[in-house]
Amino acid sequence: MDISIVIPLYNEAESLPELFKRIQAVMEQNGFSFEVIFVDDGSKDDSWQVITELKAAHPEVIRALKFRRNYGKSPALYCGFKKAEGDVVFTMDADLQDRPEELPEMYRMLKDGGYDLISGWKKKRYDSKISKNLPSKIYNATARKITGIKLHDMNCGLKAYRKDVVKNIEVYGEMHRYIPYLAKNAGYTKIGEKVVRHQKRKFGESKFGLSRFAHGYLDLMTLWFLSHFGKRPMHFFGLVGSLLFLLGFIAVVVLGAMKISMLNQGIPFRLITDISYFYLALTCILLGTQLFLAGFLAEMISRNASERNNYIIDQEL
Ligand code: UDP
Ligand code: MG
């Protein structure tokens, strides 16, 4: 099969018939064999009803699953990826903001350019909320700096992947915002970008509010840390902890030595606890020990993590 299209959706009943019709038309015009995988993320409207009807009319190209409750976009993508069988796997939003008509060009770009992943770039956005445009620019600039991936629109819902990629990364929590980073960390570094036309939401409303910036920032930090020290936490905590401890220890020794030498010379000296440096030194020692311990505990946890020896073997003879 050429193409799998994974569509996570939450309360998008009105959009689905048109979405499917347009996908089908585009696929047939271009002679692709394809499947559409709808993942209903616990919708409370008629989405599942609509999907059931679509499935009855097109049993051979539609696959679908419904969550018991609303788990989120990442879990929906994760389950969709598990099911996907096409050589190229697309993800797109269900709300008709991503145009199915972009798919063939992205497919060709991925195949001919030898890319692992092509991300859409909504160069001109049509979001109802102004809160999306400027914050999203700042957010993307930060993400570019930290991830080292030169994408303008990291979180675009419309993306194309080689099948290999989606089978070897694990999207969880709210990490759908950073799939290119997950891919990069898994060794899929050929990441391209294609400008796509964005459209106004026809029905319903956006499911993500301002909280996504806070969540997105924290998740970015998590991923950065995981990719640098996830498998060797002691190299971070142990190092910083030891340095702090050493600093504090040396300071205390110096203070003690000063006091002893002053006393020896008969010069009156204040109590060590009256010197503010003492408390700074003490804090360093305590923090250092804490960090060292945190590193050690993290190391014990990662020794037992089930994925500690997950390596992607590309080829074997
Ligand atoms: N979505 C989902 N689960 C959620 C929230 C959203 O599956 O908990 C889907 C939603 O139905 C849509 C896609 O994720 O297909 C993108 O959501 P939305 O259009 O609300 O985001 P925006 O375009 O405003 O960033
Ligand atoms: Mg949308």
The residue ranges of every structural domain in the chain are: 3-229, 234-303
pLDDT of residue 51: 98
**Any atom of ligand 1 within 6 Å of the Cβ of 10:** yes
**Any atom of ligand 1 within 6 Å of the Cβ of 153:** no
Give the model confidence (pLDDT) of 91-138 as tens digits: 999 999 999 999 999 999 999 999 999 999 999 988 876 667 888 899
- Residue 306 burial class via C-beta count within 10 angstroms: exposed 0-12, middle 13-18, buried 19 and up: exposed
Question: Is pLDDT above 70 for 89?
Answer: yes
pLDDT of residue 231: 92
User: Cα 125 from chain centroid?
Assistant: 21
Around Cβ 93, how many Cβ atoms within 10 Å? 19
Around Cβ 262, how many Cβ atoms within 10 Å? 13
The best mutation among 20, 154, 208 to test binding of ligand 1, ranked by most ligand atoms within 8 Å of the C-beta, falls on 208
How high does pLDDT run on average in the chain?
A: 95
Q: Which residues lie at CB < 5 A from ion ligand 2?
A: 93, 95, 97
How far is Cα 205 from Cα 249, in angstroms, rounded to an integer? 58
In one-letter notation, the amino acid at residue 240 is V
pLDDT of residue 307: 85
pLDDT of residue 131: 67
**φ, ψ at 207 (rounded to 5°):** -95, -5
Give the model confidence (pLDDT) of 144-184 as tens digits: 999 999 999 999 999 999 999 999 999 999 999 999 999 99
Give the model confidence (pLDDT) of 272-292 as tens digits: 999 999 999 999 999 999 999
Pairing of strands 88-91, 159-162: antiparallel
User: Cα 233 from chain centroid?
Assistant: 20
pLDDT of residue 292: 98
Angle (nearest 5°) at CA 13 between 10 and 15: 100
**Any atom of ligand 1 within 6 Å of the Cβ of 193:** no
CATH code for 3-229?
Answer: 3.90.550.10
**Any atom of ligand 1 within 6 Å of the Cβ of 97:** yes
